[in-house]
Structure 1
Amino acid sequence: MLKHLYISNYALIDELDIDFPAGFSVITGETGAGKSIILGALGMILGNRADIKAIKPGAKKCVIEAVFDVTGYGLEPLFADGDVDFDASECIVRRELSATGKSRSFVNDTPVALQFLRQLGDHLVDIHSQHQNLLLQKEDFQLGVVDIIAHDEKQKADYASAYADYRKAVAALDDLKERIEKTRQNEEFVRFQFNELQSAQLADGMQEELEQESAALSHAEDIKTALFNANDILNADDAGVVGRVGEAADALHSIEGVYPKVKELAARLDTARIELADIAADVDNDSDNIEFDSARLFDVNAMLDKIYSLQQKHHVDNVAALIAIRDELGKQLESIDDSDTQLTDYQHRVDETAAAARRAATVLTGVRRKAAAKVEVAMKSRLVPLGMVNVRFKVDIQAKDLAADGADRVVFLFSANKSTELMPVAEVASGGEIARVMLSLKAMISGAVNLPTIIFDEIDTGVSGAIATKMALLMKEMADAGRQVVAITHLPQIAAMGEAHYKVEKEETDKGTISHMRRLDDKERLTAVAAMLSGDNITPAALENAKELLAARQ
């Protein structure tokens, strides 16, 4: 419930500091007096976009602050999620807008983001302005009304989960089809590249081995000459290193008996001779095995040229990378060859999730149809007293393709007369009839939704006389059911029904035009209602009529 509103330097308002009671209140004033300005300021508190043009000329900033009582509306989790202190009896919301365009928002003196302010605003106040009558043209609004009455949060959550799985499966199938299509378009080229790499018979370490073999074959004569010379030095009959080391060892062994010190040296020479003999044998073998093979050199260089060409073509510098490319191309070809099986599997997943979503949608539809019947009864019970004695109101639910909000298309059908065919309400209802339909919908919804405050901005457009009185009674009924209801009106029948009456006035001063609002006492209220009946020239008859209207409120 809105307890207090403070506005400073907003549009034509210098300063407004006013309390609001519970129950049904009315706000009146001449056209252009500033009623819409007050709603605009309140909208800022609820998270609407701020416009620096709204700051009163010459002021550095404007401030709007509202105090709400939200006892019993279950807002503790919202405050906990926003890390904001919670005080149910005094929730203070403040919005500041500077002339530089900077906007700041506070809840209970804690700075909050605009998104939090909007979330909180959705739980605090519902402002129904004339343009909201256009909502009757929107299917999602009509579906939302049915869902509110149905209390189908669980069924909607179950469906949303199933629908999300279905959309995920559809997206996966579409992605697979796209990838297969792209791959098939390049299949010939992919297959050529794969075969080219496959024919190279690539293996890890292959390039290094071939490069070493090519170098050896290219320098076969030099290698053979070096090995021959080394072998000759090691194994020459008279001066070979192996033989001379053996002779040295034998010489030392011959004096071991008389000179024991050389025994270790002789042993070391024996070891060296054995190692040199092994080396000489290996050199001799290698010398015999080295032959210049031009055919093999041609083959090795041809294989290396192919590897280098493939590396340049695929912009890599090693065989391992070529192998990775070959394997990836192979997978693409496997995917092409196995695409029909993959498509079947993915389509099966789509069919499964679609069936699950349809089952959840069927449950949701059943709950909505039961609620639709309640809506029809409730709307007729409210519209008949508002002067539509022959009204017919039907909630038409037709099937539609699976969508985020279910598989139901909801349209409100309406006829004010027995002989008139039922048609969508937005197409056949007059302005006054639409106003009464919207008021009845709001009254019905208010009983199902925990919303502290409802503000009607000239919802009485297009009605007058007894019907206006009936609309006022319906708003008072909503207030008596625990809602704070505020009606901005030009009709005396509605103005007289409020428990509190506020008047918005515009005044010309030395500093320019200002707008202010005040609560009227009983005497001022009588005069205000009489003026609404007869204009500026208040007649005794108008005063008497105003007294009767005010007395009827009791």
Structure 2
Amino acid sequence: MLRSLSIRDIVLIERLELGFGAGLTALTGETGAGKSIILDALGLALGGRSDRGLVRSGAEQGSVVAEFEPHEPAALEALLHDNGIPFEGELILRRIVTADGRSRAFVNDTAVSTALLRQVGELLVEVHGQFEQRGLMNPQAHRGILDAFGGLGPLVAQVRTAHAAWRKAAGRLAEFKEQLATAQREEDYLRHRERELSDLDPKAGEEEELALRRQSLMNREKLMTALGEALAAVSGNGGALERLGAAERKLERSAGMAPELLEPAVAALGRALVEVGEAEAVIESALRGLEDGSGTLEAVEERLFALRDAARKHRVPVDALPDLLAETRTLLERIDAGAGEVEAAEREVAAARAAYRDAARVLSQARAEAAAKLAEAVMAELPPLKLERARVRVRLEPLPEEEWGPEGAERVAFEVSTNPGQPFGPIGKIASGGELSRFMLALKVVLARLDSAGTLIFDEVDAGIGGATAAAVGERLARLGLERQVLVVTHAPQVAACADHQCSVSKHVEGGRTRVAVRELEASERRDEIARMLAGAEVTDAARAAAESLMRVAGVAG
């Protein structure tokens, strides 16, 4: 709901502060008094086109600030949250236009693009005028409006679920077909690769193991030479064991001549022989280990280089060769079993399509019933609005299968025929300006509870009518005011009499400048304003009496 509107230096308005209440508010005044300027200013705050011609002559910039209390904040809150804009229940839209035509936009003091400001504005206000229509005039919105009117949300949800399942199954089928086609194109290569890798039989971690063994084998010859020389020095002819043994025997033969002197030496030589004997055994064992080691250096290098050549050929690390072999076998298995997989996926797609088609058919039938009820309800509103010869229909146009979507299998369009024999067509192209506003009013009365916008604006919805028809328009606007905040620019006293609030717009010259003023009228002032609307320039007692009668009939205290 629009709480207030502050306008600075816009066209003929130098400074204007307006407050708005709930229900129906009528803006009245002489033709050319400036009522459209107020709507233009509000439109600017809602993201409308800016123009330097909107800035009051002599001013550097113009500005409009509109304060709202959103009617249904959920969708608005999500939009603001996605764009990092703080929101605590109130919303302030601000637009500044400079004298050179540049503009800036703000939502709750956060700078935003004009496009985002327009998105926010469309969730707050819906305008219906002779030259601007939003919401119901947008064919893209008709399907959602019909579904909301018919309470078809659960059926639409089922269709969305079925469509998602169908698309998912179709995606899997496409993936299977693509993989199969790719594999079939490469089948000869894949079979060659599988034979080559199978013969090679790579193992995980094999490269590192072979590299260590290769390093060990490259050092084996040197080790064997060293060990052989050491063994010869220890146990060979004239080696340590032989010489130590000879020394021990000589001392043993002479030990009786000086036992206290020689026996320690004999004992030490015995110990040395034991140690050298152990060293001999260790050297021999190490030498045998090198001689008996599995694989030659040549064999290890041949295996290692074969693995690395295969890895370079297939552009993968050596350790990835086992995985490549497994993947190759999987692809070949898919080729062999691919036709069966594709057939199974095709059956799944067919079943999902049938489920979607059944859900969409149920939704289509429900939409057809809701369409008939909606058209009937709108038609019932037309005769009092002087549209008794007009007809309204909600057309359901089946879509080709390639256009079936999550919202169903048909396009929905609101169409009218304003005269017998005239073909049906889109509302905006068939109806004249005044008729268009009244068609919108009839639709809005029927759909009032479905509107997300908390404020509805009707600009001269009474154009070209009067008397009972104007009274019918006022009565319907008042009914809408019970559900939403409604602002109407009107020249019809019958419409003004039905309003909960009335603002008089006037234009006057002050200090050589033309200015626009707006004033909310008290009950007695309303009587005089409505009398002026009835009588023209000179307000007579009869006009005042007629105005009181209109207000009394409309339920407004005089």
If the TM-score is normalised by the length of the shorter chain, which range does it land in?
0.7 to 0.9
Counterpart-to-counterpart distance in 1, 2:493 and 2:546: 11
| In the alignment, structure 1 residue 485 sits paired with structure 2 residue 486 | yes
Could you tell me how far 1:442 is from its partner in structure 2?
0.9
Spell out, residue by residue over 1:56-104, the C-alpha distance to the aligned partner (whole angstroms, 9 max, x if none). 6645773514364x7xx67589779967545xxxx56353648696543
Q: How many residues align?
A: 529
The residue number in structure 2 matching 1:476 is: 478
CA 1:151 to 1:17, structure 2 compared with 1: closer, same or farther past 3 Å?
same
Counterpart-to-counterpart distance in 2, 1:336 and 1:222: 54
Spell out, residue by residue over 1:20-55, the C-alpha distance to the aligned partner (whole angstroms, 9 max, x if none). 344433224567754444334434655x37859566
| In the alignment, structure 1 residue 140 sits paired with structure 2 residue 140 | yes
The residue number in structure 2 matching 1:383 is: 382
Residue aligned with 1:406, SS: coil
* 2:455 aligns with one of 444, 449, 453: 453
8 Å CA contact retained: 2:395, 2:412: yes
Counterpart-to-counterpart distance in 2, 1:276 and 1:421: 118
Residue aligned with 2:26, SS: strand
8 Å CA contact retained: 2:28, 2:489: yes
Spell out, residue by residue over 1:353-394, the C-alpha distance to the aligned partner (whole angstroms, 9 max, x if none). 444444443443454344323212211210122233344433
Counterpart-to-counterpart distance in 1, 2:363 and 2:111: 36
The residue number in structure 2 matching 1:173 is: 173
Spell out, residue by residue over 1:260-283, the C-alpha distance to the aligned partner (whole angstroms, 9 max, x if none). 899799567525523422422552
Where in structure 1 are there 5+ consecutive unaligned residues?
none
Counterpart-to-counterpart distance in 1, 2:366 and 2:243: 110
| In the alignment, structure 1 residue 151 sits paired with structure 2 residue 151 | yes
8 Å CA contact retained: 2:45, 2:65: yes
Read off the aligned partner of 1:529 and give its amino acid letter: M
The residue number in structure 2 matching 1:163 is: 163
Counterpart-to-counterpart distance in 1, 2:441 and 2:308: 82
Residue aligned with 2:147, SS: helix
8 Å CA contact retained: 2:131, 2:433: no
Counterpart-to-counterpart distance in 1, 2:17 and 2:229: 114
Could you tell me how far 1:160 is from its partner in structure 2?
2.9
| In the alignment, structure 1 residue 529 sits paired with structure 2 residue 533 | yes
Spell out, residue by residue over 1:102-151, the C-alpha distance to the aligned partner (whole angstroms, 9 max, x if none). 54333xxx979889987876665432244555866754333233123223
| In the alignment, structure 1 residue 273 sits paired with structure 2 residue 272 | no
Counterpart-to-counterpart distance in 1, 2:75 and 2:425: 43
Counterpart-to-counterpart distance in 2, 1:539 and 1:144: 50
The residue number in structure 2 matching 1:5 is: 5
| TM-score after normalising by structure 1 | 0.74
The residue number in structure 2 matching 1:238 is: 238
- State the Cα RMSD in Å: 5.0
| In the alignment, structure 1 residue 397 sits paired with structure 2 residue 396 | yes
Counterpart-to-counterpart distance in 2, 1:165 and 1:253: 102
CA 1:248 to 1:206, structure 2 compared with 1: closer, same or farther past 3 Å?
farther
Residue aligned with 1:403, SS: coil
The residue number in structure 1 matching 2:371 is: 372
Read off the aligned partner of 2:309 and give its amino acid letter: S
Residue aligned with 2:409, SS: strand
1:92-107 superposed matches below 5 A? 93=92, 95=94, 97=96, 103-106=105-108
Residue aligned with 1:373, SS: helix
The residue number in structure 1 matching 2:555 is: none
Residue aligned with 2:238, SS: coil
CA 1:348 to 1:129, structure 2 compared with 1: closer, same or farther past 3 Å?
farther
Counterpart-to-counterpart distance in 2, 1:425 and 1:94: 31
8 Å CA contact retained: 1:35, 1:504: yes
* 2:444 aligns with one of 422, 436, 442: 442
Residue aligned with 1:395, SS: strand
The residue number in structure 2 matching 1:283 is: 287
Counterpart-to-counterpart distance in 2, 1:194 and 1:514: 89
Which deviates the most, 469-478 or 57-66?
Answer: 57-66
Counterpart-to-counterpart distance in 2, 1:209 and 1:306: 14
1:342-361 superposed matches below 5 A? 342-361=341-360
Residue aligned with 1:393, SS: strand
Percent of matched pairs sharing the same residue: 28
CA 1:66 to 1:210, structure 2 compared with 1: closer, same or farther past 3 Å?
closer
CA 1:428 to 1:97, structure 2 compared with 1: closer, same or farther past 3 Å?
closer
8 Å CA contact retained: 1:529, 1:546: no
CA 1:165 to 1:134, structure 2 compared with 1: closer, same or farther past 3 Å?
same
Could you tell me how far 1:331 is from its partner in structure 2?
3.5
The residue number in structure 2 matching 1:552 is: 550
8 Å CA contact retained: 1:460, 1:489: yes
1:297-446 superposed matches below 5 A? 297=298, 303-316=303-316, 318-400=317-399, 401=401, 402-417=404-419, 419=421, 428-446=430-448
